[in-house]
Amino acid sequence: MQAFTPDGPVCCRTLWISDVHLGSVHCKAEPLLDLLERIECQKLYLVGDIVDVWAMTKRVHWPESHTKVLRKIMEISRGHTEVVYIPGNHDASFREFCGADFGNIRIREHEIHETGLGKRMLVSHGDELDYAVRYSRLNRFIGDIAYELLMWVNRCINQLRESAGRPYWSLAKWVKVNVSQAEAAITAYQHAAVNMVRDMGLDGIICGHLHYPTVEQFDDVLYCNDGDWVENCTALIEDFSGELRLISGLDLRSPSLELVYPQAA
């Protein structure tokens, strides 16, 4: 297992980040920028919803930190890191450029990534699996309003916690874990993802979209969700032995790492 020192660089083979939602008031660009300043990787996947075009049609929220994130990504792409951008549903307007290159950044609809252990993983934003969570347009509209309210309450709670010297706590994550309907929707989504990649003859999937970071083995298929930079501030990394781990950007002085993909015996 690779050691991560409090002030040293985070060195890894591959990094996956998604659901940054630049341009949205909910984006937590500062911890992501801190991570990008420390990260050293051979390959970087931007797994969709990097820029929230949807949110900006209603209200543009673009502080300097959002510009710095984009500049840092461009800087990384000009170095020795291979960068692949897979647009999501909130930045779907960029999907028309799939197959093209933007400078040193390759834009693709999806990608097959082979880990250091030889596992072939589908990398996709994941919104194509929304069919597994059945809801009408009205329910989706109500859900969007409820999510905005939930995130507003989440910000208020954490402003109070910060003033009291308490760590960040995600109300949205608590709801997803403790509300039965939300839990059932996440489970249905995961099963749809597993069945899709199993039919494709692949070993697993790495996606975003749900804002629910987790890595779980479903028999012969590995399901990975790298999380988001709105609620959880997490990324997925592959170290040089081929292991996959979740890393938290909320406490970079003591990175929270979880071993999620054991080495082959």
- Asked if 157 and 98 touch (Cβ cutoff 8 Å), the reply is no
pLDDT at position 150, please?
A: 66
Question: How far apart (Å, rounded) are the C-alpha atoms in residues 161 and 21?
Answer: 23
pLDDT at position 1, please?
A: 36
CATH entry, 10-259, from 3.60.21.10, 3.30.9.10, 3.40.50.720, 3.20.20.70: 3.60.21.10
Q: What is the CA radius of gyration of the chain?
A: 18
pLDDT at position 77, please?
A: 96
- Asked if 88 and 19 touch (Cβ cutoff 8 Å), the reply is yes
pTM reported for the whole predicted model: 0.80
Question: How far apart (Å, rounded) are the C-alpha atoms in residues 171 and 159?
Answer: 13
pLDDT at position 128, please?
A: 93
Closest to 236 (Cα-Cα) out of 31, 46, 28: 46
pLDDT at position 9, please?
A: 76
pLDDT at position 253, please?
A: 45
Q: Profile the chain (265 residues) by mean pLDDT over runs of 10 residues.
A: 55 96 94 93 97 90 97 96 96 96 95 97 95 56 55 71 75 61 83 96 96 94 96 94 90 45 34
Give me 68's structure tokens: 């710095």
Return all residues near 69 (Cβ < 8 A) that are at least 6 apart: 20, 22, 29, 32, 33, 36
